[in-house]
Amino acid sequence: YFEIHAGSSERKWSSSRDSFFDYEALRSLKVSSEIQCTAAARSDSAVQLVVFNASSGLCAHFRCRLDLRHCRKCRNANKGAQRVWTAGSDCWTTVQHRVSGSVDFYRNWTQYQSEFGEGPDGNYWIGLNSLHALTASGPRKLRILMKAWNDSEHWAEYSSFSVGPESDNYRLSVSGFSSSAGIGDSLARSNGFQFTTKDADHDVQATYNCAERFVSAWWFSNCFDTNPNGEYKDSASAIGGAPNLGILWKYPFDREYSLKKFEMLIF
């Protein structure tokens, strides 16, 4: 990497071949070198990715989509066709991802302890053991990305996220909520609770197993305001169906709306 200075702060730019999917174009200008291209970004902290075409002298600046400050995903790193520079080399790790109904998420305790699915680009679960290992040395940031059926995109973030050990049934600790406009805190109800699957009931609902009742597995209380591991619904059945069945985020979508896409990432 090389460095540019923005006031009293130092920005490090790392060369890579990242995908452009997480970014949107901000501006373009003519310069004579890649160093001038990155230096031109020093006055705008929104710039997170820079592209320089040596043959044309065209410099392009990109910012994160959805007004997010830092959006580099590990799963999109080094997947682009051309050389780019990103503001830092750190990235967000995908730990859960729903994009279709091709993977069954109604699984047992042992299966949820381990990784399963199509990999981070597709339907994916990183595993409870990995979630604990990734947060055992200290809480991480959690980002949740959602796409509705009208293709609008939304996000929620938590400044502190950790998952306990197997001996405590992977108890969830999450706090420090912020979000895009209109999105409420649908994860707070799960804070402090243990993980439940269809064959391992650790929720506090006295009359039934939440995972079994709602075809899922999650940090259920009695039961939930979000259900990311619920049954995937296609466009014909995602809206206005039976309540609590599907990939839910209650605030503001309520309980009869199953989201088109859902992704959880930690940093």
pLDDT at residue 142 in the model: 98
Q: Is the pLDDT of residue 76 over 90?
A: yes
Q: How many CB atoms lie within 10 A of CB 168?
A: 12
Residue 5 — pLDDT band, cuts 50, 70, 90? Answer: very low
Q: What torsion do the CA atoms of 7, 12, 17, 20 make, to the nearest 10 degrees? A: -40
**Which amino acid belongs to residue 54?**
A
- Catalogue all structural domains in the chain, each as residue range(s) with its CATH number: 2-87 (3.50.4), 93-266 (3.90.215.10)
Structure-token pair, residue 19: 């995908």
Task: Dump pLDDT digits (tens) for 32-66.
Answer: 999 999 999 988 999 999 999 999 999 999 999 99
Residue that the structure tokens 């009359």 belong to: 207
Distance CA 163, CA 37 (A): 42
For 148-185, give the DSSP string: -TT--EEEEEEEEEEE--GGGTS-EEEEEEEESTT---
